[in-house]
Amino acid sequence: MMGERTVMQESLFYSFSLEQHVPAGHMVRSIGRFVDLSGLRKHLEPFYSATGRPSVDPELMIRMLIVGYCFGIRSERRLCEEVHLNLAYRWFCRLGLDGRVPDHSTFSKNRHGRFRDSDLLRHLFEQSVRRCMDEGLVGGEGFAVDASLIKADANRQKSIEGSKGLPPEATSRAIDEYLAVLDDAAFGAATEVTPKFISPADPAARWTAAHGGLAFFAYATNYLIDLEHAVIVDVEASTAVRQAEVTAAKTMIERADERFDLYPERLAADTAYGAAEMLEWLVHDRGIEPHIPVFDKSARKDGTFSRADFVYDHEKDTYACPAGKELRKSHRPFTTPRTGVAKDNTMRYRASKSDCDICPMKLRCCPNAPARKVPRSIHEGARDLARDIAKTDAYVTSRRQRKKVEMLFAHLKRILRLDRLRLRGPCGAKDEFLLAATAQNLRKLAKLIPMPQPVPTT
C-alpha cells in the first residue's frame, strides 16, 4: 500500500542535543581536541578599546576560519552560510542552535586590523606546532625545505609592462603593501631583475612561467617540515623567485631555532637550494649537514674535459690536469699580495701556456684558448662536503623522505583547494599560507592521534 506524507505538526517543546548529533568520527571532533584558544583574548586585549559596543567574539571568527581552511571552504561568504547550516560546524564554533553567525565583512575588517597588527595568525600556527611537539610528532633530527607557487588573484590579461612601472594614479591596499616591502629580502629586494609584467591589482605578485605553460602571477609558499611525521615547523611567504625562496629557508631555520629550540642535524632540499652560498651558510654558520644536490653547471657537453676531471690538492692549493700539470692562481709573485677572488666569489686557477702548447691533450682540454682555466668557488669546501654526503646511504634516505613536503603541497592545492589565492598583497599571502599550514598541522594531529575510547558505563 502506498504511504502518504504525514502532515508536520509544530511541537510546543523540543528536546535537542547538538552534542549527540555530531558523529563521533567527524573530523571536527578530532580537530577540536587540539584547538586551544584560551590565551586568545589576552593576546588581542591591547588591540581592543576598553569602551564602546562589544565586538564579534574573536574566538568565534578564528574557529570559523579554521573550519574554512580545514575543509577547503575558500569563500568567507560561503563559510558563513555553511556554519549557519552545518550542525557539526556549529558545534565546533560553539554557537549552539540559536547562535548568530557574523557577517562575512567582519572577517575582512579584523584581518586588515587587529589580526595583522597582533600577528595573531602566526601565533595560532605556532600553537599548532607546539601541540605537535607535545604529542611527540616532531623528531627535530632532520628537516626538509621546499617552495611551491600559488597563483595570485591577478588577471594576466590586465597586466602592464614591468619597465613602465605602475601608473601614478594607481592606489589600493595591495599597492601600499607592495611599496612597503620593496626593501624586503623575501619580496622587492629578492632580485634586481625587472619583471616582464606587473599586475596593477597586486604588484607584489611575480610574473612567472616556471610551470612551463602560460605565464601567470604568483607567490611562493615556503615550508620547513620535520621529516619524522611531515609536521610543518614553519611557513613563509615570498615572491616567486629562487633567491627569495633561499632567503625564506634561512629565515625559517633561524626562527625554528629561536621559537622552538629545534636545531636539525640535516636538511634535505632540491637543487634550488644547492648554491654555494647556501651550502656555506648551512655547513659553517649553522653546522647542518646539507643533504642537497650541488648546483653545478661545470659539466661540458662538447667532449672536452670538465672541471671534475681536474684534481684539487688542498695542501698546495693547486689543481692537477689530466696530463699531470699544475694549475695555479698565479704564476708570478706580486708586490702587493692579491686574494685572487673575483667579484663572483670565485678563484681562477690557470695552467702555464708553455705546458698547454706542447700537451697532446690540448684539443680535449682547451682547443679555443691558449691555456686552460678552472674556476673554484670560495665556498667550494661546503660544496665538496655536500658531494661527499651525496654518496652515503643517509642521503638516499633523505631524498626519499624529502618527498613528504611535496605531498603536503599536493594536499594544500587539491584537498584544501589553495591553488589560487583569494587575498591580495604580501600580507594577504602570509595570512592564507599561515592559516593553511595551521589547518594541515591540525589535520595531521587528528589523523595520527586516535580519539580516546569512551569509558563503558557499569
Is the residue at 455 inside a domain?
no
59 lies in some domain:
yes
pLDDT value of position 3? 58
Residues 130 and 239 in one domain: yes
- Partner residues linked to 346 by β-bridges: 377
pLDDT grade for 336, boundaries at 50, 70 and 90: low
Number of separate helices (H) and strands (E) present in the chain = 18, 13
State pLDDT tens for residues 283-302: 999 999 999 999 888 888 88
Average pLDDT estimate for 229-243:
95
- Please report, for the domain that includes residue 235, its CATH number: 3.30.420.10
CB 263: neighbour CB atoms within 10 A?
A: 14
- Domains identified in the chain, total number: 3
> Does 143 lie in the same domain as 92?
no
Give the tens place of pLDDT for each residue, 380-416: 889 999 999 999 999 999 999 999 999 999 999 999 9
**Would you give the end-to-end CA distance of the chain in angstroms?**
45
Of 118, 150, 174, which residue constitutes the final position of a domain?
118
Residue 27 structural domain? 18-118
Same domain, 175 and 269: yes
What pLDDT score does 64 carry? Answer: 95
Cα separation, 75 vs 231, in Å, equals: 26
What are the tens digits of pLDDT across the range 254-275? 999 999 999 999 999 999 999 9
Asked if the structure places residue 110 within a domain, the reply is yes
Per-residue pLDDT at 219 exceeds 70? yes
pTM for the complete prediction? 0.90
Q: Which pLDDT value is given to residue 18?
A: 83
- Identify whether residues 172 and 143 lie together within a single domain: yes
Stronger pLDDT, 12 or 14, i.e. the higher one: 14
Q: What is the mean pLDDT of residues 94-118?
A: 89
Q: Are 113 and 237 in contact (CB under 8 A)?
A: no
Question: What's residue 457's pLDDT?
Answer: 57
Range scoring the smallest mean pLDDT among 79-83, 85-89, 454-458:
454-458
For residues 218 and 236, the answer to whether their CB atoms sit within 8 Å is no
* Rounded mean pLDDT, 116-145: 94
**Model pLDDT, residue 96:** 85
Q: In whole angstroms, how far apart are CA 398 and each of 239, 284, 332?
A: 27, 21, 46
Are residues 263 and 156 part of one domain? Answer: yes
Q: Is residue 8 part of a domain?
A: no
Residue 377: inside a domain: no
Nearest to 223 by CA among 249, 203, 198, 246: 249
- Choose the final residue of a domain: 99, 118, 137: 118
Assess whether 354 and 421 both reside in one domain. Answer: no
- In 3D, which of 226, 56, 57, 17 has the Cα closest to residue 141? 226
- 336 — phi, psi (to 5°)? -100, 120
What share of the chain has pLDDT > 90, as a percent? 59
Centroid of chain to Cα 118: 22
Per-residue pLDDT of 295-326, as tens digits, reads: 888 888 888 899 889 998 888 889 999 989 98
Label each residue of 255-298 as H, E or C: HHHHHHCCCCCEEECCHHHCCHHHHHHHHHHHCCEEECCCCCCC
Last residue of a domain, one of 71, 102, 118: 118
pLDDT bucket at 444, cuts 50 / 70 / 90: very high
* Residues 134 and 94 grouped into a single domain: no
Q: Tens of pLDDT along 36-69?
A: 998 899 999 999 888 888 888 999 999 999 999 9
Q: Is the residue at 302 inside a domain?
A: no
pLDDT confidence tier of residue 5, bands split at 50, 70 and 90: low
Find the angle CA(378)-CA(225)-CA(445) to the nearest 5 degrees. 170
The answer to whether residue 404 sits within a structural domain is: yes
Q: What is the mean pLDDT of the chain?
A: 89
308 belongs to a structural domain: no
Instruction: pLDDT band for 9, please (50, 70, 90 cuts).
Output: low
pLDDT at 117 over 80: yes
* 263 and 397, same domain (yes or no): yes
Predicted local distance difference test score (pLDDT) of residue 2 = 65
Residue bearing cell 673575483: 342
